[in-house]
């Protein structure tokens, strides 16, 4: 259910009647707002809170921040390894690929956490799955519009959104079949902070500059504000 919600969000993107440069810029700003809010208002505070159970507050903040910075460095190094695209659709596709990959990586530990919560209590697992599904809807929307624009096919955008969401059940399967003996709370917590950094790096290095280049800084900024607002409301409602 949680993984398919990303595909459902991608389907909402396919319903946008016409995607021009302004809509593209706004959608990339929206994606940046979604990803930054998830990272800074959800993933990092949760990681720091978990670390505070094992160490002083200053050390917990330092550990979570260091892993976040490491995640950003990993993203920036990965960008250098990718071939430089031609201006235009090529650069948009590269940005869309990085966004889809970052969200897919983010979905892997979510699937693990949902499974582990379900093993502890079916009711808790159901609540976790519902919460993750609701916040995956805007993530699917954030993937489908840029990918659909770059590939000239809105249905390919939906397919990419669905594929990034299917990392959720894949993470659950990995947790059950392979990683369960080594899947400690500390490992999951560190992975969460690292992924927050990867997503922050994708926003700063790809989404916001790409959106401004495609549709102008005004439309990108408006989309960014909308993404932040949507995710904050979702996080507050599901808290």
Torsion of CA 174, 180, 186, 190, to 10 degrees: -10
Q: Percent of the chain at pLDDT above 90?
A: 12
Contact 139, 103 (CB under 8 A): yes
Q: What is the pTM of this model?
A: 0.75
Q: In this predicted model, what pLDDT tens digit does every residue of 189-199 receive, in sequence order?
A: 888 888 888 88
Give the span between the Cα atoms of 157 and 172, in whole angstroms.
24
For the record, the structure tokens of 205 come out as 């290095």
pLDDT at 61: 92
Q: In this predicted model, what pLDDT tens digit does every residue of 167-190 receive, in sequence order?
A: 777 777 776 677 666 767 777 788
Contact 142, 30 (CB under 8 A): yes
């Amino acid at each position: 259910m949680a993984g398919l919600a990303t595909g459902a969000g991608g389907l909402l993107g396919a319903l946008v009647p016409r995607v021009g440069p302004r809509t593209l810029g706004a959608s990339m700003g929206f994606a940046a707002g979604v990803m930054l809010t998830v990272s800074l208002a959800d993933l990092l505070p949760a990681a720091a809170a978990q670390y505070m159970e094992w160490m002083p507050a200053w050390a917990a903040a330092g550990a979570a921040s260091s892993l976040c910075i490491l995640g950003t460095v990993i993203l920036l190094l990965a960008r250098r390894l990718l071939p430089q695209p031609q201006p235009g659709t090529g650069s948009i596709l590269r940005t869309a690929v990085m966004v889809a990959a970052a969200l897919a990586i983010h979905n892997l530990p979510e699937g693990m956490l949902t499974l582990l919560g379900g093993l502890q209590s079916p009711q808790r697992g159901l609540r976790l799955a519902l919460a993750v599904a609701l916040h995956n809807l805007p993530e699917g929307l954030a993937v489908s519009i840029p990918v659909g624009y770059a590939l000239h096919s809105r249905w390919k955008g939906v397919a990419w959104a669905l594929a990034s969401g299917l990392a959720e059940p894949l993470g659950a399967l990995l947790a059950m079949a392979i990683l369960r003996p080594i899947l400690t709370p500390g490992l999951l917590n560190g992975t969460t902070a690292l992924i927050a950094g990867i997503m922050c790096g994708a926003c700063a290095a790809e989404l916001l500059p790409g959106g401004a280049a495609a549709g102008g800084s005004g439309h990108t900024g408006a989309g960014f504000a909308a993404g932040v607002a949507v995710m904050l409301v979702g996080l507050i409602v599901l808290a």
